[in-house]
Chain A
Amino acid sequence: DTGVSQDPRHKITKRGQNVTFRCDPISEHNRLYWYRQTLGQGPEFLTYFQNEAQLEKSRLLSDRFSAERPKGSFSTLEIQRTEQGDSAMYLCASSYGQGEGSNGYTFGSGTRLTVV
């Protein structure tokens, strides 16, 4: 168990460019989540997957954002035509099961995006 890995750790991009982040969850975890955290705030839910199916998307996830988990393992989050307001820490988490058997969420260290 190597934990949840996110790549890159930091990304600086010019406004209008596209960026893609990757998340590798804990291998046996069937659920994967993306959150966004801005300075001084708690994480805000963006979307989550159960295996390869995207089951829920937040209203925060505008049409410039797209997330995939093609084989139920790693996931990517793409932001098209980035805006300065997209600058944030993007956190990925994974979990297994549900109910009292769940081991809770394990978060990665995040990808910090700065749009200049």
Chain B
Amino acid sequence: AQSVTQPDIHITVSEGASLELRCNYSYGATPYLFWYVQSPGQGLQLLLKYFSGDTLVQGIKGFEAEFKRSQSSFNLRKPSVHWSDAAEYFCAVGRDSGYALNFGKGTSLLVTP
């Protein structure tokens, strides 16, 4: 079964600094990969998704992610973090874009002034 590991439970970055959140997946075939963001008390908002094609995916709010099959990774990046980016970030994998997703446990991002 597909699974997702987010190695970092908490990450703290300074405002304006670059950000990389790690995600490793386990799945035999080409996975469908997603990054979601969740603000306190809110539902999840889709940042970006990868189904196939170009391995560098652009998303909303200036985020991007790169699919690396050789490393089974789908890391999320942003060149310059804003205070409003502080939230919980979840990586998810599905065996098909229309089926259930398996989520990682999330990475909590704290942005300092």
Which residues on A are within 8 Å of B, measured CB to CB?
A: 4, 31, 33, 40-45, 48, 56, 58, 91, 93, 95, 97-100, 102, 104-110
Of the A-B pairs whose beta carbons lie under 8 Å apart in the complex, a sample of 6, sorted by A's number, is A42-B92, A42-B104, A44-B103, A48-B99, A105-B101, A107-B36
Point out the residue from B43, B52, B97, B99 that lies within 8 Å of A56, measured CB to CB: B99
For B4, the chain A residues whose CB sits under 8 A away are 42
Query: How many residues on the B side are at the interface (Cβ–Cβ under 8 A)?
Result: 25
Q: Which residue of B lies closest to A110 (CB)?
A: B43
Question: Closest residue of chain A to B100, judged by CB?
Answer: A45
> Is B43 in contact with A40, judged by CB distance below 8 angstroms?
no
B105 contacts A42, C-beta separation under 8 Å: yes
On whether A108 and B97 interact (CB within 8 A), knowing A40-B105, A41-B105, A42-B90, the answer reads no
- Interface mask (B1-41 → A, CB under 8 Å = 1, otherwise 0): 00010000000000000000000000000000010100001
Q: Chain A residue with minimal CB distance to B36?
A: A107
Q: Which residues of B contact A (CB under 8 A)?
A: 4, 34, 36, 41-46, 49, 51-52, 90, 92, 96-106
Neighbouring A residues of B106 by C-beta, 8 Å:
40-42
Which of B34, B100, B104 is the one whose CB lies under 8 Å from A48?
B100
10 smallest A-B Cβ distances: which pairs? A98-B98, A42-B103, A107-B43, A102-B97, A45-B100, A107-B44, A109-B43, A104-B46, A100-B51, A43-B103
A74 to B90, CA, bound (A): 26
Q: For residue A2, give the distance in angstroms from its CB to the closest CB of chain B.
A: 14
The smallest C-beta distance from A42 to any residue of chain B, in angstroms, reads 3
Contact A97 B103 (CB under 8 A): no
